[in-house]
Structure 1
């Protein structure tokens, strides 16, 4: 059973966001006090100290541990591929899902190293969404169903959640969502994705511009239905479920982050428990993170997707909490200066 309500309308879900659990200031203050007592100069671990306090506040525990880390990759197919926006056929989505399940992808190796249990959720791959240049990508009921599947996939016992995606054509969807929520010329949001040449990129741009024009006036979570996809909706459902259970989230690259843009539009605080795992090489991602006020954990020039950057950042979060919990205080170590 999920911890978030099962609404009949997207607007009902958006209204619920404000009632979700918030940051535990008392736990965060206790964590910061502990940081100040550890055997190191104040602030010398930089971002690691910030991450430890962040996790403490969201877990409600001054000394949190990551006993269970879950990684979820959601996969979907997209009707926008009818516009020639994809350099690879849609069959690759299912093929890559099989590769994930067989343990042969980058995300499998990174999860093994960083200690995350990986699950892959394929969402009706034989039934692509609608072409958003011709009409809505999904109906409201279909969008809510994908969100429910995303929420249901979250392990309630997880201490942290890593999110990723797979879906041929979904870099076009991501560009459209980012442009819809944050505005500006569509060209600034459209990149190469999985290796689009100039001709394919031009078709991506035309598709985004056409979709934005057709669905002008859409607001908030309704962008998921109009131009999003099932994996984007599932990511939003998982983010909300994690928030309800006080589970911090590591978001992957441009596509994963753009999936949450409608949540940000509906209620900016809905993403307060999320960290940007990394900043992608995809040109729109840095711009998107800036617009959302997010500072990435890593900047490794990655652009693979499938949760790989977020899973890699999990290792940094683990190191932050290991230092926070395992280091001696000045008093414990008998070191002067505390």
Structure 2
């Protein structure tokens, strides 16, 4: 306070606030992004497959953790479908994904894997993508070698890839861009040719990638993964989609996958339930006249943290 100055008396009495420790979500403690990254790396070293469900917003992230997920993944397919209602053709922006990622990190304590697509441009764009995702709390960031605009393998049979040297440069840029050395860089190759995939994966490893993510779509996927794993000597991340479940056992997938992500299943299940729910509302009006499974409102309030909000109100709002 400057000499000669004095505080004026308050026109109104100050409210009395309840003292107490920092309030957190019930049964949940804060875990920093760096600590999540350390835990994720330590878990990878155990050699046991990490099964990672795909999420797309704060609610799905909460529910996945509450179900016991060790980690969750924000996948581009689900983002495009849920946020835009559009097919995965990279028509969303990096900042839109970053915003969703930040919400997920804020309401969870588990590692959050993030899909960085092709970095949303060249190596310079990769640098910004990695640093923005990292600042938002991502545990791992996946950068792929598809040409822009990227196309989901579920949409196009053979996506175009950027040239070899450019792809390696983008992975090197991702590795060098991270400010936290614990951040995990996942290098994805969409090459369907085994020899090319091995060449690219080994070069990505040499550039500093921590995990390799191949994308296969044929009956030889398992054998290709075995050969790729042997060649690159890095953990593999495998996306579990319908054709994988139809052709290979869980044991076979766990043989090659250090990380088994399920990016599409959760949102397609939600879409089916929503479709049935809306049909019922329009046809029968009352949902109670259907057999659609619903969470009681009192339970849903707990899921989304009403207890925390009420605690905040008691702590910080003046009594009425």
Q: Which structure would you say has the larger RCO, counting Cα contacts within 8 Å and 6 or more residues apart?
A: 1
TM-score (norm 2): 0.30
> Which structure is larger by alpha-carbon Rg, 1 or 2?
2
TM-score (norm 1): 0.28
